[in-house]
Structure 1
Amino acid sequence: MPPPPPASTPETAQRLNDAIRRLRARLRAESGQHATGLTPTQLTVLASVVREGPVTAARLAALDHVSAQSIAQSLTALKAAGLVRTEPDPSDGRKKLTSAAPSAAELIERLLAGRAAFLARAIDEAVRPEERADLDKAIALLERLARAGLDDEERI
């Protein structure tokens, strides 16, 4: 009996979207992200500040592919929580640079470690040794999908 025909591109896109959504929700739960009281958007912005800082709000918006207004709202909440601070850019006083507090770096490190630990356990539990090469191929495809349609300057 021949294998079934491949699903249409829209069906495949929907299945991929659903799988990514479920995996992201599971990663948030397993990492303890809910206990932080921060939204997923705020945590994404915070991780970008930790990784890139000191950084301008405009750069954060470009990195996270969101509006300046969204970044401003997230930064306001993060400042109120004491996780980031801003100061004038020494090279251009009209701009402000955002930096992460040490506690922010520790929080992001803890969340990322929780996610990585969950994924490692899940891979060991759900992926058979003979499927590991398939997983590596799937990861490479996901990385390509994430870069699809981006200009060279936007690829980060």
Structure 2
Amino acid sequence: MEEAKEIVSASAVRAAHEVRVVVGRLRRRFRETYDNEGLTPSQTSVLSRLGKEGPASASALAAAERVRPQSMAATLAVLEERGLIQRRPDPGDGRRQLISVSEAGRAFLEDKRRAGEEWLARALQEHYTEEERRTVLEALALLDRLTRS
């Protein structure tokens, strides 16, 4: 027996589309607000992933970033040359190395995060009233509920 499909309201479909579009635009604006210090988007992505998820092997990073191992090796070589990552033997498998963010890499990520937040705070201050900022906070609380369900 086939289950009855729940009908999704037009407002839910529109809201889903608008949230996706706005989040995409915000991500692009955040990327524009900070100096990548010459890093490519893929190098920045790997560094951010290591900062969020912790140490990983090169093969795990290649799979997560959906690139070939050779491409990941080149990305990691640049990050290591810049002092943004460090390698150490995997305690569970001495043949593998785990890659993690170095102190310089953490400082880079923190500067990037801070620059984005400063841009957003200034933009919210300049373009929105206090009441509109409260509305934004209320809407974000509703959206946050999605991430917790």
TM exceeding 0.5: yes
Kindly report which structure 2 residues correspond to 1:4-153, keeping only aligned pairs within 5 A, or say none. Answer: 8-33=11-36, 35-39=37-41, 41-53=42-54, 55-57=55-57, 67=64, 69-70=66-67, 72=69, 73-74=71-72, 76-81=74-79, 82=81, 83-148=84-149
Q: Distance in 1 between matches of 2:21 and 2:137?
A: 20
Q: Distance in 2 between matches of 1:90 and 1:84?
A: 18
Larger-gyration structure (1/2): 2
Provide the aligned C-alpha RMSD in A: 3.1
Gaps of 5+ in 2: 1-8
Tell me the amino acid that sits aligned with residue 16 of structure 1: V
User: How far is the alpha carbon of 1:42 from its aligned partner?
Assistant: 3.3
Q: Distance in 2 between matches of 1:96 and 1:108?
A: 22
Identity %: 30
Alignment partner of 1:67: what SS?
helix
User: How far is the alpha carbon of 1:111 from its aligned partner?
Assistant: 0.9
Tell me the amino acid that sits aligned with residue 12 of structure 1: A
Q: Distance in 1 between matches of 2:64 and 2:51?
A: 19
TM-score between both structures, scaled by the size of structure 1: 0.67
TM-score between both structures, scaled by the size of structure 2: 0.70
Tell me the amino acid that sits aligned with residue 18 of structure 2: R
Q: Distance in 2 between matches of 1:14 and 1:69?
A: 25
Q: Which has the higher contact order (CA 8 A, sep 6+)?
A: 1
Where does residue 151 of structure 1 map in the other structure? Answer: none
User: How far is the alpha carbon of 1:131 from its aligned partner?
Assistant: 2.5
Change over 3 Å in CA distance of 1:125–1:13 after alignment to 2? same
